[in-house]
Amino acid sequence: MGKAAVASNRRPMYPMAFTRLLVSLVAVASVQAAVFPTGLYRRADPDVRIPLTFSLAQSNLDKLETFLLDVADPRSPNYGQHWSPAQVKETFRPSAETVDAVQGWLQDAGIHADKIKLGSNGDILQLDITIAEAENLLHAEYYLYSDEDGHLSVGCHDGYTLPVHISQHVDFVWPTMQFSEPRSLSRRSESATWFGRESGATTTPIDNLSAFAEAGCDTSVTLDCLRALYNFDFTPVSELNACYAVEFGNNIYRSEDLDLFFETYSPDQVGHIPTLISVEGGDPDASGTPSEATLDIELMMGLLGSGQNLSLYQVAQTNLSQDPTDRLLAALDGSYCSVAPTGSEGITDCGNKPRTSVISISYHLNPDINDPTISPMVKRQCAEFGKLSLTGITFVASSGDGGVAYSGSEECLLPNGTLAFNTNGSFVGQLPASCPFVTAVGATSVAAGASTDQVEESTTDFPSGGGFSNNFPRPAWQSSAVQNYLDNFVPDYNASVFNRSGRAYPDVAANGIDSGHTGGTSASAPIFASLIAAVNDARLAASKSPVGFINPALYSDAFAGVFNDVTIGSNPACGTEGFVAAPGWDPVSGLGTVNFEKLKAAFLALP
Ligand SMILES: *[C@@H]1O[C@H](CO)[C@@H](O)[C@H](O)[C@H]1NC(C)=O
Ligand SMILES: *[C@@H]1O[C@H](CO)[C@@H](O)[C@H](O)[C@H]1NC(C)=O
Ligand SMILES: *[C@@H]1O[C@H](CO)[C@@H](O)[C@H](O)[C@H]1NC(C)=O
Ligand SMILES: *[C@@H]1O[C@H](CO)[C@@H](O)[C@H](O)[C@H]1NC(C)=O
Ligand SMILES: *[C@@H]1O[C@H](CO)[C@@H](O)[C@H](O)[C@H]1NC(C)=O
Ligand SMILES: *[C@@H]1O[C@H](CO)[C@@H](O)[C@H](O)[C@H]1NC(C)=O
Ligand SMILES: *[C@@H]1O[C@H](CO)[C@@H](O)[C@H](O)[C@H]1NC(C)=O
């Protein structure tokens, strides 16, 4: 199946292409745009004033990994001693040297000190100047662009130039940027409930959930299948309610769908709904598409049971040029508000939403390609995931449903730097899964006729996302596991096909329930996140901290016995067989699926 559904769900190329060309950022030389962006309207009037904003480089970012290892490496005496948000904010605030350097340069360029304002967090400089002054300052040409709805925005698609001694102090200059909306990783069609009634044309409707539940776990995955597969029999022992799902834009759930599911699989949860944390007015009762959110919520609420409440960050997306990840991150960390790389305009929830210990994200937001229009943004966002992890949050994300291609849209990278659907280009990963500070989860399924006592295989109904980042170097904590794969099992691809030195993912795997009914790595992430929430529950009861950033622990020797090593399967795309599953870590199923009791014991053994 898959193919037709994926193709029809595919968003048109227009927003992506427009996006990539409008975002132009380079430190020392202008980017040459290959073609004019669609939607180019006209040159901007030189006399019009624009609020030009410089996002200043953070201090100590080069030490982020070291700081994280200090609290997340199982061998560290400070394991689990997470930082306070204030400590994080103070440590990474731009230095006085940075502020002075940029301010001095602006004044030397003839911008009067009155026109330069330092933002209240000390992390941005705002200028009220004309287009002509901005063009002169940045050696740029500003244009107006219109989007599909005719809204005009201003930007410089040919890029801009900063002197080298200033570029090291500046992360971004606005306005220059534009981004597209997130794509849900759910593989279900609209109006479906999780392994409930499927309205998709490719599958048979299931009207009798009881009959469905009696089929084997190879064809119909129930909560009991998952409990058996991962040795997960959970009753909370602490007061913790700390698992959060994230839904973006119009991905909403319907309580009647949840009830249909609970009636069959978890009767004491009928009538239960997640606790809403609305970000920028996000409203799960609004009209929208119920597939992704319903899947995530049914899985997490169902696995955690009635003794734990799930919370839901419902993040509104009213402005397609703004990546909603930025809204989520700003809502959790007020210091991110003014520096969100896709623009702070319209962000009002600044650090005012509760933080939690496990956050599950079943979306992919940007392709992981090395591109001057994408790399600075994804690096800034990834650093923010790292900074939030330092305070004790575990971020879990789906690895994607497109194998070695850019998720469900199956885009690969052509030699001229463009992404194209279903071609023989090089491999493309996706954010946030490829960010090293996020735990990426690939998808498995029970082999035909197999029982839950047997180790699963990597999904065959769709290729589970995995590979190597083009933006993030490989962290030391996974180097020996990944090197083992590269030395012994990697297919013989030529060097341009994938980036051997990149962060490799997924880290782990969980059932992707693609039995022609529902699923994808969209299911795998919330399943794994639920297990981590249950680990935190046990640690809390033992007067220990939540686990926070778990990747260094997962790859450590102390966790070697925790995984069910998945060795069957591959993730073909981009005209290749992709990668193959193998003993040990592999870029299809990561370290494998987990045995919850062993996972819990390993984390309980840590300080
Ligand atoms: C649903 O399936 C169960 C188990 O096979 C069966 O006992 C029940 O009668 C079925 N219900 C309906 C409404 O068909
Ligand atoms: C879950 O939330 C409900 C309100 O929706 C509340 O009545 C219940 O006590 C909560 N359960 C736990 C375990 O906190
Ligand atoms: C959307 O957000 C961008 C970036 O913050 C901003 O420049 C633009 O004005 C916003 N557009 C609308 C229609 O609010
Ligand atoms: C990149 O190459 C592809 C395939 O050769 C071509 O179709 C596409 O138009 C090219 N794009 C640009 C921007 O040159
Ligand atoms: C991709 O490569 C395969 C062989 O490696 C070839 O058969 C196929 O035609 C190629 N497809 C495209 C679209 O170039
Ligand atoms: C490979 O990844 C590294 C970061 O790990 C990056 O610096 C390099 O540019 C990447 N190469 C390509 C071809 O994207
Ligand atoms: C890799 O493949 C490309 C396209 O087939 C080819 O042009 C290039 O020479 C190959 N590089 C190496 C190092 O084999």
The residue that leads in pLDDT, 38 or 472, is 472
- Residue 139: left if φ>0, alpha if ψ -120 to 50, beta else—which one? left
Nearest atom of ligand 4 to the alpha carbon of 34: 13
Nearest atom of ligand 3 to the alpha carbon of 177: 4
Q: Is the CB of 151 under 6 A from ligand 3?
A: yes
Tokens 């007067």 correspond to 543
Q: From the candidates 247, 292, 368, 410, which is the catalytic residue?
A: 292
Q: Is the CB of 454 under 6 A from ligand 7?
A: no
Lowest mean pLDDT among 35-49, 63-77, 93-107, 592-606: 35-49
140: tokens are 């740029």
All structural domains of the chain: 3-174 (no CATH), 208-604 (3.40.50.200)
Structure confidence at residue 39 (pLDDT) = 66
CA atoms within 13 A on the CB side of 225: 27
As annotated, the binding site includes: 565-566, 584, 586
Taking only the tens place, the pLDDT of each residue in 212-261 is: 556 688 877 889 999 999 999 999 998 776 788 888 888 888 888 888 88
Nearest atom of ligand 6 to the alpha carbon of 471: 4
Which protein residue has the closest C-alpha to ligand 1 atom 4?
211
Q: Is the CB of 492 under 6 A from ligand 7?
A: no
Which ligand minimizes its atom distance to the CA of 495?
A: 7
Closest CA to 42 of 160, 150, 132, 142: 142
Structure confidence at residue 332 (pLDDT) = 96
500: tokens are 């051997």
Please tell me the distance from the alpha carbon of residue 555 to that of residue 581, in angstroms, as a whole number.
Answer: 17
* DSSP SS3 for 236: coil
109: tokens are 């360029």
590 and 465 Cβ atoms separated by less than 8 Å: no
Indicate whether 318 pLDDT > 80: no
Q: Is the alpha carbon torsion for 408, 409, 414, 419 positive or negative? A: negative
Residue 292 bears catalytic tag:
yes
Structure confidence at residue 381 (pLDDT) = 93
As annotated, the binding site for Ca(2+) includes: 565-566, 584, 586
Please tell me the distance from the alpha carbon of residue 98 to that of residue 95, in angstroms, as a whole number.
Answer: 5
Please tell me the distance from the alpha carbon of residue 325 to that of residue 340, in angstroms, as a whole number.
Answer: 9
Which protein residue has the closest C-alpha to ligand 6 atom 12?
470
* DSSP SS3 for 230: coil
Please tell me the distance from the alpha carbon of residue 374 to that of residue 34, in angstroms, as a whole number.
Answer: 16
Taking only the tens place, the pLDDT of each residue in 174-195 is: 876 443 333 444 333 222 223 3
| Phi, then psi, of 358 in degrees rounded to 5 | -140, 125
Residue 296 bears catalytic tag:
yes
106 and 133 Cβ atoms separated by less than 8 Å: no
Q: Is the alpha carbon torsion for 407, 410, 413, 417 positive or negative? A: negative
- Determine if the pTM surpasses 0.85: yes
Q: Is the CB of 121 under 6 A from ligand 2?
A: no
409-441: b (≥16 Cβ within 10 Å) or e: bbbbbeeeebbeebbebbbbbbbbbbbbbbbbb
CA atoms within 13 A on the CB side of 280: 27
Which protein residue has the closest C-alpha to ligand 7 atom 5?
494
76: tokens are 């560290």
252 and 289 Cβ atoms separated by less than 8 Å: yes
Which protein residue has the closest C-alpha to ligand 3 atom 12?
319
Please tell me the distance from the alpha carbon of residue 520 to that of residue 188, in angstroms, as a whole number.
Answer: 8
Which ligand minimizes its atom distance to the CA of 368?
A: 6
Nearest atom of ligand 3 to the alpha carbon of 340: 5
Which ligand minimizes its atom distance to the CA of 274?
A: 2
* DSSP SS3 for 464: coil
